[in-house]
Structure 1
Amino acid sequence: MRTLTTANGLHMPQLGLGTWPMKGEECTAAVVQALELGYRHIDTAPAYENEDAVGQALRQTQVPREAIHLTTKVWWDKLQPAAMRQSLEDSLRALGTEQVDLFMIHWPAKDWDLRRSIETLVALREEGKARNIGVANFPLALLRQVVEELGAPLSAIQVEYHVLLDQQHLLDYARAHGLALTAYTPLARGLAAEQPAIREIAAKHGVLPSQVALKWLLDQDGVAAIPKASSRANQQANLDALKVQLDDADRALIAALPKGKRVVSPEFAPEWDA
């Protein structure tokens, strides 16, 4: 599996396991199984209420902790410096680790002191609590402010990205500034596999529609994807997507799909086009 690397020190396997909305024993079993199959990138967050379950899996697996890329986040209502620090401490305790590989602001807040939050994020990296730092769900203007005005040494941005949602401007910016882009909801919660064009491509290659949608992402430079999968079959299918070979005709069909479908946009979401 390809590993994405950045100038700020990120080394992140391109295909990871998303864990939302799994909890408890289901989540623990899914993570242990994924690691057994070969996954080395696990994504979690306090908002998912499963960090303790992921931590249990890390204790159960035979895979050493240093071989696993672990991402967690801080929720938008805990972006004051003391609250951010407490959030990460709570995460480290739940996960049973002294350091996460990537710590991200999960969502921007509506009314917050951006500079102080980013300074705290950077400080946590400098203190060794997180190897790398990043942001999630930031529109381009806000990402630009963090990188260019505040000079934060970000390694990644995580956003919704799939065959039905264009993120080219963000992706171009991420590439130009040495950030990896992690695609969450990479299968559009099943909508991608329902598209006739995706089904046509899948039939042509004798693979699953979900594998076509996933490989389209993984073929892009600097893009990682974290599909949620709990069953062994689905986890293996996502791994096997790495073997799919899309051609120019396939990519043209995918490019022609509508690109305005956003499936994750809670009431506290930012102005996406800002």
Structure 2
Amino acid sequence: MDIPSLGFGTYQMDERDECARAVEEAMETGYEHVDTAQGYDNEEYVAEGLDAAGVDESEVFVATKLDTDNLAHDDVISTTEESAEKLDADSIDLLYVHWPLNTYDPEETLPALDELVDDGLVDRVGLSNFRPDQIEEAIETLDAPLYAHQVEMHPMLPQEELHELAVEHDHRLVAYCPIARGQVADVEEIQDVAEKHDATPAQVSLAWLMAKENVTAIPKAASSDHIEENFGALELELELEEEDVEKIDEIDERTRIVDFDEAPWNHG
């Protein structure tokens, strides 16, 4: 299956009961895409949640990410095998390079991804937190098509250049922190659109993202109420008008939630 426009994020869900329960509830609510990572230490809990929900491997799109210490060729292969085992998956729908840091080497890491695709353990390859020039380099190096690039993206960080690249090269731009960890609720333009449609600011932010070409949003939610609230953005997306999208596009505030000195965008 192709990646759905709305996914379920599991960042910081490293408690077995919480993660498994949240994934189970998300699947029962109607989500068909779950996002995890080696660094989240919860791949097996995600699998437990999917199993508890009675979801077959073919019915859900599962994505995970390689840890920055696991990007040497042999480590890519061996740790992906471990991830597939933890996820109880014959093949992983989408495998990302989480960050182009530490052991990342395009000439080692990317051919290993191609090998995993050729062997059938991984269906699609992705990148995460790459600069535009690093994306271009990876596209040139990979044999497999780049399927997705995952980055922080929300109305206060619209990622115009990366979005243009995604449309140009026809890969998905997958938005993490899609509600800016709740900060969208304080933005007047988003409040106005939310009031107009009797929706929440979180739903407006998610619907705005999904209304864009080639964009998928992956909000994290632990509580039942937030799991259902975020899922409601799918219905709101159908109601958003062009003037609503334009109003949010014109927000001039800029906020980056995930940032640190070694981040790729602070270099190069």
TM-score range, shorter chain: over 0.9
Retained in 1: the 8 A contact 2:114–2:142? no
Q: Where does residue 167 of structure 2 map in the other structure?
A: 175
CA RMSD, aligned part only? Answer: 1.6
Counterpart in 2 of 1:255?
Answer: 249
Tell which deviates more after alignment, 110-119 or 210-219.
Answer: 110-119
Measured at CA, do residues 151 and 99 of structure 1 come closer, stay the same or move farther in structure 2, by a change above 3 Å?
Answer: closer
Give the C-alpha shift of residue 110 in structure 1.
Answer: 5.0
For 1:109-136, what per-residue CA distance to the aligned partner results, in whole angstroms no more than 9, with x for missing partners?
2564311110001111111111101110
Structure 2: 5+ residue runs without aligned partners? none
| Displacement after TM superposition at 1:272 (Å) | 5.2
Q: Which residue of 2 aligns with 1:241?
A: 233
| Structure 1 range deviating more: 182-191 or 103-112 | 103-112
| Shift in Å, 1:257 | 1.3
Q: Residue 46 of structure 1 corresponds to which residue in structure 2?
A: 38
User: What is the deviation of 1:252?
Assistant: 2.9
Does the CA contact (< 8 Å) of 1:42 and 1:70 recur in 2? yes
How many Å apart are 1:231 and its aligned residue? 1.7
Compute the displacement of 1:150 (Å).
4.6
1:264 to 252, 255, 258: 258
When residues 122 and 34 of structure 1 are mapped into structure 2, their CA distance, relative to the original with a 3 A threshold, is same
Name the aligned partner's letter for residue 162 of structure 1. H
Alignment map for 1:145-156 (pairs within 5 Å): 145-156=137-148
Residue 7 (structure 1) aligns with: none
Cα offset for 1:273?
7.5
**Is 1:19 aligned to residue 10 of structure 2?**
yes
Please state how far the C-alpha of 1:61 moved relative to its aligned partner.
1.9
Counterpart of 1:3 in structure 2 is none
Task: Note the C-alpha offset of 1:167.
Answer: 0.9
Count of residue correspondences: 265
Mapping 1:73-222, distance limit 5 Å:
73-109=65-101, 112-222=104-214
Greater displacement, 150-159 / 101-110? 150-159
Q: Which moved more, 1:35-44 or 1:60-69?
A: 60-69
- 1:228 aligned to 2:224? no
Question: How far apart, CA to CA, are the structure 2 residues paired with 1:231 and 1:257?
Answer: 29
* Structure 1, unaligned runs of 5 or more: 1-9
- Does the aligned pair in 2 maintain the 1:69–1:101 contact within 8 Å? yes
Cα distance, 1:265 vs structure 2: 1.6
- Structure 1 residues 249 and 273: alpha-carbon distance in aligned structure 2, compared to 1, 3 A threshold: farther
Partners of 1:239 and 1:20 in 2: how far apart? 17
Q: What is the aligned counterpart of 2:56 among 58, 64, 77?
A: 64
Equivalent pairs: percent with the same residue? 35
Kindly indicate whether the alpha-carbon contact (under 8 Å) linking 2:72 and 2:103 is maintained by their aligned counterparts in 1.
Answer: no
| Alpha carbons 2:69, 2:102 under 8 Å: kept | no
